[in-house]
Amino acid sequence: MKIDKVLLKSSRETRNWTQQVVAQMCNVSLRTIQRAESTGDVSMDTLDALSAVFEIPSQQLLCSAKVPDKDGITSAQISAALKVLLLAQLSTFAVVFWVADKLTPLQLQVCTAVISLSFVFSFVLIGTVAYRKGMISS
């Protein structure tokens, strides 16, 4: 699994600890700490040990928002895309509201229904993506 290697290194340096000291405190090899700081790759046991030594929650050490999933898409990219989607929908709603007096009642009803359904779809999509990415739990 990947951890925030910048956070790890800065936490070590603020305590004026060497990598060797951290390795001893975590009961792992010096190479394990060097790898963790250079690549961010650690085992679950090492993550737990680092979390305990630095008194930082494991979830905070993990960098899930910065690491691409198997599709190469990060949580931050998904979040940005969904924000753009919602902004586009709000813009559409604003335009329909702006020209509402020029629409027939039927056209206005259709526009309102389409916009409402697209909002519902977006929120379901946001919830599904957030759940699958571990951003929320059930």
Residue 105 sits in which domain range?
Answer: 75-132
Helix (H) or strand (E) holding 72: none
User: Encoding tokens for residue 27?
Assistant: 């009961």
Domain total in the chain: 2
Same-domain pairing of 80 and 56 = no
Same-domain pairing of 48 and 9 = yes
Q: Is 17 helix (H, G, I), strand (E, B) or coil?
A: coil
Residue 99 within a domain: yes
Same-domain pairing of 51 and 18 = yes
Q: Give the closest residue to 2 by CA, choosing from 40, 31, 34, 37.
A: 40
Residue 67 within a domain: no
Q: How many helices (H) and strands (E) does the chain have?
A: 7, 0
Q: How far apart are CA 127 and CA 112, in angstroms?
A: 23
Give tens-digit pLDDT for 49-70.
999 999 988 888 887 544 455 5
Q: What is the pLDDT of residue 9?
A: 92
Q: What is the mean pLDDT of the chain?
A: 83
Q: How far apart are CA 61 and CA 47, in angstroms?
A: 8
The CATH number linked to 43 is 1.10.260.40
Q: What is the pLDDT of residue 18?
A: 95
Q: What is the pLDDT of residue 95?
A: 84
Domain closes at, from 33, 61, 89? 61
Residue 138 within a domain: no
Q: What is the pLDDT of residue 65?
A: 45
Low-confidence ranges of the chain (pLDDT < 50): 65-67
Same-domain pairing of 79 and 43 = no
Residue 43 within a domain: yes
Same-domain pairing of 51 and 80 = no
Chain Cα centroid distance, residue 49:
23
Residue 116 within a domain: yes
Residue 118 within a domain: yes
Same-domain pairing of 35 and 79 = no
Residue 137 within a domain: no
Q: Is 62 helix (H, G, I), strand (E, B) or coil?
A: strand
User: What is the DSSP code (8-state) at residue 2?
Assistant: B
- List the Cα angle 51/25/30 in 5-degree steps: 100
